[in-house]
Amino acid sequence: EGIIEEKKAMGRFFELLATKPGMVSYGVDEVMKNLKLGAVDSLLISEELDDKKTAEFEKEAENVGTAVRIISTETSEGVQLRDMGKIAAILRYEVKA
């Protein structure tokens, strides 16, 4: 059940990355910036991200009502997330860089 949900979430992320790149962000700094703005709808955290960082992101997500999903590296999507900086976000609205 978990893996299917993870694949769905990551699939949505990659679909947006390809079609509406302004609706996603990835990498620790960029995602944290958008999270603090309250722009993140769904936070995708690789299980490979260190615990301290994960806790930081989870706390921030809680403050702004963002859904958090921990993504395992058991799927190719999870491996891609790890390789993209271990953290990604699907945004509520487009954030201009």
Span 20-43, pLDDT tens digits:
999 999 999 999 999 999 999 999
**Distance of alpha carbon 62 from the chain centroid:** 14
Give residue 97's pLDDT. 61
At a CB cut-off of 8 Å and minimum separation 6, what does 3 contact? Answer: 72, 74, 75
Global confidence as pTM = 0.94
Phi then psi for 20, rounded to 5 degrees? -140, 70
How high is the mean pLDDT of the chain? 96
Give residue 15's pLDDT. 98
Q: What is the pLDDT of residues 29-78, one digit of tens each?
A: 999 999 999 999 999 999 999 999 999 999 999 999 999 999 999 999 99
Q: Are 40 and 90 in contact (CB under 8 A)?
A: yes
